[in-house]
Amino acid sequence: MPKLVFIDRDDSRHELDVPVGLSVMEAAHRNNIDLEGACEGSLACSTCHVIVDPAWFDKLDEPKEDEEDMLDLAFGLTRTSRLGCQIIMRDDLDGLTVRLPAETRNAQL
């Protein structure tokens, strides 16, 4: 199983073994990581916004237009921001590191 590293708002690290095919958001929910995901992955909010470590960002699939639209609503958007519900774990993402943003904004459509 690939490893996924979450860095909390207080800079603590959580290294998890995550099954291939599970989203970053689902992995957070299964492991009590404070990542909301109000729309449960239906691309109707930005509450699963994560900041991908720059070393990993270019290894991810390109975001779809729907994800980019939702990211526009995210608080604290960065160049490496993505929605956790849209990052699906694969073997080649072993070690993927994401940071939880300082705040989230629940602006569901």
- Domain range annotation of the chain: 3-99
Give the CATH fold of the 3-99 domain.
Ubiquitin-like (UB roll) (3.10.20)
**In which band, very low, low, confident or very high, does the pLDDT at 105 lie, cut at 50, 70 and 90?**
low
Query: Could you report the per-residue pLDDT of 21-49, keeping only the tens digit for each?
Result: 999 999 999 999 999 999 999 999 999 99
For the stretch 42-80, what's the b/e string if a residue is b when 16 or more beta carbons lie within 10 angstroms of its beta carbon?
ebebbbbbbbbeeebbeebeebeeebeebbebbeeeeeb
In 3-state terms the chain splits into helix, strand, coil percentages (rounded to 5) of 20, 20, 55
pTM here is: 0.92
Q: Is the pLDDT of residue 107 over 80?
A: no
Query: Could you report the per-residue pLDDT of 75-97, keeping only the tens digit for each?
Result: 889 999 999 999 999 999 999 99
